[in-house]
């Protein structure tokens, strides 16, 4: 355990001196199964020599070059993205250094697009709760994540919010028909109330990440949302920072439904943890409007860093060559089925949910009424702590009223043995914390 003054508020954090495959190793050499892929990042696993080699090569050959210029690694990444990953409908790309910067860029692009077309009053972004979009002031303000805003409330601008579809707690009932239509109507009502000429975009995660714990919306939700946005001239921004690049068993989360965003935002898995990188991908209409209006899409100094582009090009190539998106789907189904068998009827487990290898278990005091534990009980934090004692790193999630959520997002290369270890360790941790 660490004795250094780290992080900002010092806490007893593990010291990791090596990572390899699906494991982290602490200073004593003890292996920790990385069931969270870090912060749901390490999609191809740790320590891949071929990625390390490409990063070294790019650093040696083109250490730093201003982001708008072209380098071999930038060219390679664009080629891979266009060939294997992005839909033709999203040809414009802007690369940043992470998720928050990317969401912020997406929001700015939406405002610029409308201003460029002569509708500068379309400046409102509608977001959802629960959600998480980042830690800059704008992206925090847009996040339906009370816990991460504490003490900042007075600085954060207010944005209209509609509820994230949450089948477990849907007021219509968990299995009700028309659930997606009901949640989509909330967006339609919000737009009508604000006036459609004032709304720039709707910002949402296709499958909610750790804030809600891998919440999958009902199947009629996204097609209806697309209709609502189209009817009102509102752009649809999909935040795929957590779900993008195979995490949910499809290249992108939105592809589980018949819907395409106007702006797609990525981060985390894009470079798989080998370097900081985020990407924003926009439609031709958006790119062309901003270009014709001669507006600036300013870069961040470290955006599209050559080493990060090299890492991403190689990570994305590995995903394709090793068929890892399909593996995420298959292993995710096995992990979810195993969790349901082992924990599905546990008196304190409200639900096991998610898609692909973005999965979560929601813990409650009472399974029938869904009454949560007290916040001060810190249930999810203690479960994560117990997991770590047993050598497995789970990711704590949840916020506000729905706070006790344990997320899983391991590298796509996990095998059946790892799946078994995750299930048994989580069961043990839950038994200890919620006897």
Q: Can you give the binding site for ligand PLP, defined by CB under 6 A?
A: 39, 98-100, 103, 132-135, 205, 209, 239, 241-242, 267
Residue 344 CB, shortest distance to ligand PLP, in Å, is: 26
State the CB neighbour count (10 A cutoff) for residue 318.
19
**Nearest CB to ligand PLP, comparing residues 75 and 148:** 148
Residues 6 or more apart whose Cβ sits within 8 Å of residue 282 = 90, 92, 93, 94, 106, 109, 262, 263, 264
**Nearest CB to ligand PLP, comparing residues 135 and 196:** 135
Residue 420 CB, shortest distance to ligand PLP, in Å, is: 27
Spatial distance between the Cα atoms of 327 and 246, rounded to a whole number of angstroms = 9
**Nearest CB to ligand PLP, comparing residues 232 and 268:** 268
**Nearest CB to ligand PLP, comparing residues 85 and 373:** 85
Contact predicate 128/161, CB 8 Å: yes
- 126: which 2 tokens? 């509608």
Minimal CA–CA distance to 211: which of 404, 370, 376, 344?
Answer: 404
Residue 79 CB, shortest distance to ligand PLP, in Å, is: 24
Question: Which residue's Cβ has the minimum distance to ligand PLP?
Answer: 99
Element (H, E) at 334: helix 324-343
Residue 369 CB, shortest distance to ligand PLP, in Å, is: 29
Spatial distance between the Cα atoms of 239 and 112, rounded to a whole number of angstroms = 18
**Nearest CB to ligand PLP, comparing residues 39 and 194:** 39
Residue 204 CB, shortest distance to ligand PLP, in Å, is: 9
**Nearest CB to ligand PLP, comparing residues 105 and 425:** 105
19 has which bridge partners?
Answer: 24
CA angle 135, 139, 144 (to 5 degrees): 95
Residue 132 CB, shortest distance to ligand PLP, in Å, is: 5
Contact predicate 220/159, CB 8 Å: no
CA angle 254, 351, 374 (to 5 degrees): 115
**Nearest CB to ligand PLP, comparing residues 103 and 335:** 103
- 85: which 2 tokens? 């990953």
- 233: which 2 tokens? 């001239």
CA angle 394, 398, 400 (to 5 degrees): 150
Minimal CA–CA distance to 188: which of 179, 180, 196?
Answer: 196
Length of the chain: 435
Residue 373 CB, shortest distance to ligand PLP, in Å, is: 24
Minimal CA–CA distance to 203: which of 141, 137, 157?
Answer: 141
**What single DSSP character describes residue 84?**
I
**Nearest CB to ligand PLP, comparing residues 132 and 412:** 132
Residue 371 CB, shortest distance to ligand PLP, in Å, is: 27
Residue 120 CB, shortest distance to ligand PLP, in Å, is: 27
**Nearest CB to ligand PLP, comparing residues 67 and 144:** 144
């Amino acid at each position: 355990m660490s004795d250094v003054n780290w992080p900002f508020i010092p806490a007893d954090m593990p010291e990791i001196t090596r990572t390899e495959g699906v494991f982290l190793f602490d200073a004593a050499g003890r292996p920790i199964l990385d069931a969270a892929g870090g912060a749901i990042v390490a999609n191809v696993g740790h320590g891949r020599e071929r990625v390390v080699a490409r990063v070294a090569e790019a650093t040696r050959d083109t250490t730093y070059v201003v982001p708008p210029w072209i380098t071999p690694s930038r060219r390679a990444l664009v080629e891979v993205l266009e060939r294997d990953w992005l839909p033709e409908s999203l040809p414009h790309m802007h690369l940043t250094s992470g998720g928050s910067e990317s969401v912020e860029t997406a929001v700015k692009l939406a405002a610029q697009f409308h201003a460029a077309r002569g509708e500068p009053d379309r400046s409102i972004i509608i977001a959802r709760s629960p959600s998480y979009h980042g830690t800059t002031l704008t992206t925090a303000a847009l996040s339906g994540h009370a816990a991460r805003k504490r003490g900042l409330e007075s600085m954060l601008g207010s944005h209209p919010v509609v509820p994230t579809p949450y089948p477990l707690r849907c007021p219509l009932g968990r299995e009700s028909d028309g659930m997606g239509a009901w949640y989509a109507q909330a967006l339609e009502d919000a737009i009508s109330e604000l006036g459609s000429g004032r709304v720039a975009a709707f910002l949402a995660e296709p499958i909610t990440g750790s804030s809600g714990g891998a919440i999958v919306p009902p199947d009629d939700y996204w097609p209806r949302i697309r209709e609502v946005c189209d009817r009102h001239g509102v752009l649809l921004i999909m935040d795929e920072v957590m779900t993008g690049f195979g995490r949910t068993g499809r290249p992108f989360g939105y592809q589980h439904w018949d819907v395409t965003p106007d702006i797609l935002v990525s981060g985390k898995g894009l470079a798989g943890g080998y370097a900081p990188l985020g990407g924003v991908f926009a439609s031709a209409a958006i790119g062309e409007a901003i270009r014709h209006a001669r507006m600036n899409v300013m870069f961040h100094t470290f955006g599209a860093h050559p080493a990060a582009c090299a890492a991403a090009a190689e990570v994305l190539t590995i995903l394709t060559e090793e068929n890892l998106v399909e593996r995420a789907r298959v292993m995710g189904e096995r992990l979810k089925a195993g969790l349901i068998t082992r924990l599905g009827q546990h008196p304190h487990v409200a639900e096991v949910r998610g898609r692909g290898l973005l999965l979560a278990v929601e813990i409650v005091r009472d399974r029938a009424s869904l009454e949560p534990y007290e916040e001060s009980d810190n249930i999810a934090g203690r479960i994560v702590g117990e997991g770590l004692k047993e050598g497995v790193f789970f990711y704590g999630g949840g916020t506000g009223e729905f706070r006790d959520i344990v997320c899983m997002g391991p590298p796509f290369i996990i095998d059946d043995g790892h799946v078994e270890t995750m299930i048994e360790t989580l069961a043990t941790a839950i038994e200890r914390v919620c006897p």
